[in-house]
Structure 1
Amino acid sequence: MIPLAALPTPALLVDLDRLERNIAAMAGAFAAAGVALRPHVKTSKCWEVARRQLAAGAIGFTCSTAAEVAWLQSHGVGDLLWAHIPIGPRKVRFVVDAIAQHGGGLTVSLDSVEAARPLSASAFAAGITVPFVLEVNTGHARLGVEPSSAVATATAIASLPGLRLRGVLTHEGHISALADRPALEEAGSTAGALLVSVADALRTAGFLVEVVSVGSTPGATSTPFVPGVTEGRPGTYVYYDANQTRLGSCTLDQCAQTVLATVASVQRAGRPIIDAGIKAMSSDAIAAAGGVGLVLDRPDVTFPEANEEHGFLVGSGLAVGDLVRLVPNHACGTTNMWSHLYAVRGDMAVERWEISARY
C-alpha cells in the first residue's frame, strides 16, 4: 500500500468503496426490475472493474471499439455487443474473424443496408452468421434509422445472407441536454417507449425480436424500466463524473474516479496552478458549463480552464505542494488518457490496475 501523498502526480485514482457501491446499486436496480444489465466497458477499460460488474450480475458488455471486443474475448467474456457500425474492410474482417474464432458471442449494430452488404458478403464467404441489432433513432440523431423506416430497413438487411436480426437498440443521449431532472426522466421513458413500439412493429412484420436495448447513465433510472425493454447499457455509473452530478444522475460523494494533482505555483493570488491539465482530465464538457472538472472536498475552489499539462484553479487557501483531487467532467474520456490507475481506500493506494484497449 502507498500513501496518496507518495504517488507521482498527476495520478488517476478510483475509490474502491464508491466503485463497489455504484456497481452493486445499479446491478440491484436492474435485477429487481428483471432487466438485463450490459454495461458499457469504455468507462473503465479495466479488467478489475469489469470482473466486479460480471460478479454483480452483468450479462456481458457493450463495446465501442474492436480493441475492447478483442480484449474482453481474451478474458473469456462470451456475450458482447459492439455498439458500432462495422464500416470498412478491416472492421468487417474483424467481426467475421472474431465470431469464427470464438464461436459466436458477438452482436453488432447496423442501421442501413449499405453498411450491411459488405459484412453480409464476408460472413457468407466465411460460412458464418453475424447477429445484429437494428439501431433506431429515438431523438439523439447520431446513428439509427428513423422509427418509421425500421421495418423496411430490417427487412432489407435481414434478407442478406450471413446476417441475423436479434433485436433493436438505441442510445438516448439527447436526454443529457435537459437540465431539469424530471424532464430528463420523462424524455428517457419516451425514448424507451418509442423503441418498444419499433420492436412491436418488427414482431408484427414477422421478426423474432429478442433484444430491446437502451443505454445511457442519465437514462438509467427511466429508460430501461419501460415495459418491453429487455436490457440497459449504462457505462459511466461505475465511476460517475462531474457531468453526471450536474445532470442529477448522482451526488458528488458517489464519484469514484478522481485525478490527484499537486499545486505547482501560487504566483498570482487566488489562482493556484496545478500539474494536471487536459491530458490528465480530458476536455469533454458535455454538461460542464465551461469547467474542466470539480475539486473534490473543496466546493470553494473551481477549475475553470486548463492547458495540456497545467490546470488553473480559482480560489484561496492552497499552497505549493498541496494535493487536490479532481472529479473529471467525463469519466470515459478521462480513462482513455491513462495507461493505469490506482485503486484507493481512504488515503492509501492499495493496488495498481492496468487500463486496456485504449486508442
Structure 2
Amino acid sequence: MSSAPFLETSLPAPLDAIATPALLVELPRMESNIARMAEAYAAAGVALRPHVKTSKCWEVARRQLAAGAVGFTCSTPEEVDWLLGQGVPDLVWAHVPVGPAKVAFVVDAVARADRAGQRLAVALDSVAAGQPLSEAALRAGVRVPFVLEVNTGHGRAGAEPGKVPGRARELAALPGLLLRGVFTHEGHLSRYVGDRAGLERAGLGAGTLLASLADILRTEGHTMDIVSVGSTPGATSAPFAEGVTEARPGTYVYFDANQMRLGSAVLDQCALTVLGRVVSTERPGVVVTDAGIKAMSSDAIAAAGSVGLVCDVHGVPLADVEFSDANEEHGFLTGPGTAALKVGDLVRIVPNHACGTTNMFGTLHAVADGTVVERWAITARH
C-alpha cells in the first residue's frame, strides 16, 4: 500500500505534506528499543534472533544486526529468500514447511545457504511433516537442519511436552534431517492483560520447561545448540530461564498498543504509527478518517474492541476518542473528544499489532523531530 510516485514529496518533509494513510517510524524510539533489548540479552549471555516479520525492512534489520543480533527468525519463504540474499548468516524459518512447493523451497534454500556459508533451519513438530522433507533432501544431496517446536502453553503448533523425547528420536532418525535444537512461541502470554506478574511467571515457566526438555534430549545424545524462546511479552522472562540459549522477540523493535496493554511497553517506546487524516464529519458523533482496515490490519489480540490508539499529530493521545470500527479505507472515531476534530486534521494511530500493520504497506517513512527524513522499502510482504 505504498504511495504512488505522483503522491510522493521530496524529503525532508513535514508530516502535513505526506499522502495519507502512511506508515511512520520514530527513529529515536526505534533505535532505543533495538539497543535496550540487545544490551539486556548480551549481559545475560542470551543470543538475540529477532523476528523480521515485524519490520520486513532492511534499514531496520541492519540496525538490529549492528546491535548484535545473531540472525533472524522468518515467517515466510519470501522472508527467507530475501535475507539469504542479504547475506544474513543464520536464519530460522519458524513455520512448518508442508506441501510440495514449500518442501522444494526449503531444500533449495538450504543448499543455497550451504554454498554461501550461511545457516538455515526450519521448524518441525511431526514425522508427517518431516518425512517428505527428508526424502526431498536426500534426493538433492543435502541435510535440512531443523528445530523441534514445542507447545509450552500457546496451543498452536508444536509437540506436546510429554511427546518431545519420542518425537525427537523419530525426526532425528530421518536421514535427510539434522536436529539443531528446540524452540517455542509463548504466545499464550497475550492472555495476561492486566496481570503482568502472572505473565512474567508464565513466561519464566515456558522457558524453564523448554530448557528442561532440552536437557532430557541431550542425555539421549541429541545436539541442542538452539534452545529458543520467542515473544515480546515474554522478552523479560522466558529468555532468562536457565538453559535458554536465544530469544526471538519481534514486536519490541516498534512495540504497539497491544504491548502497552500487556505492560511490555509505555507509549514513549511505541515507534510505529499510522498517519491518517480526517475526511468526513457528516455523521453526528462519528469522525471518519482515511485509515481503515487496509491501513491498520484487523489483528486485535488484546485490544478489547479498539482498532488502535488515536493520537494527535505530535503523538499525544486524544482524550475521549476511540477508534471503534473500520471499513477497508475508512476508520470510524467515536467519543466526546471527536467534537474537536475537523476535516483535514491529521491523526497518528498506534496500531494494535505492529507486525500485521507493517504487512499492509510497501513504504515506511522514517521520522525524526516531526519531519520525514527517509523512505524505506518494506520487503517480502504476502
TM-score bin (small chain):
over 0.9
CA distance in 2, matches of 1:107, 1:89: 18
The TM-score with structure 2 as length reference comes to 0.93
C-alpha deviations, 1:136-179, integer Å up to 9, x for none?
Answer: 01001101111111111110111111211111000000111012
SS of 1:353 mapped into structure 2: strand
Out of 194, 210, 213, the residue aligned to residue 228 of structure 2 is: 213
Out of 356, 360, 364, the residue aligned to residue 333 of structure 1 is: 356
Unaligned runs of 5+ in 1: none
Counterpart position of 1:129: 143
CA distance in 2, matches of 1:298, 1:240: 16
CA distance in 1, matches of 2:73, 2:294: 26
Q: Does 1:298 align with 2:313?
A: no
Unaligned runs of 5+ in 2: 1-11
CA distance in 1, matches of 2:332, 2:223: 55
RMSD: 0.9
Residue 268 of structure 1 and its aligned partner are, at CA, apart by 3.3
CA distance in 2, matches of 1:88, 1:272: 46
Q: Which amino acid aligns with 1:204?
A: T
Counterpart position of 2:108: 97
Q: Which runs of 4+ in 1 moved over 4 A?
A: none
Out of 244, 268, 284, the residue aligned to residue 283 of structure 2 is: 268
SS of 2:156 mapped into structure 1: coil
Counterpart position of 1:18: 29
Counterpart position of 1:352: 375
SS of 1:122 mapped into structure 2: helix
After TM superposition, the structure 1 = structure 2 runs for residues 160-309 of structure 1, keeping only pairs within 5 Å, are: 160-179=174-193, 180-296=195-311, 297-300=316-319, 301-309=321-329
Q: Which amino acid aligns with 2:146?
A: F
Do 2:71 and 2:90's aligned partners in 1 also have CA atoms closer than 8 Å? yes
Q: Does 1:71 align with 2:90?
A: no
Out of 103, 107, 111, the residue aligned to residue 125 of structure 2 is: 111
Q: Aligned residues: percent identity?
A: 66
Q: Which amino acid aligns with 2:215?
A: D
Aligned pair count reads 359
Q: Does 1:57 align with 2:72?
A: no
Counterpart position of 2:152: 138
SS of 2:381 mapped into structure 1: coil
Q: Which amino acid aligns with 1:41?
A: V
CA distance in 1, matches of 2:239, 2:112: 32
SS of 1:333 mapped into structure 2: helix
Do 2:70 and 2:89's aligned partners in 1 also have CA atoms closer than 8 Å? no
The TM-score with structure 1 as length reference comes to 0.98
Q: Which amino acid aligns with 1:313?
A: L
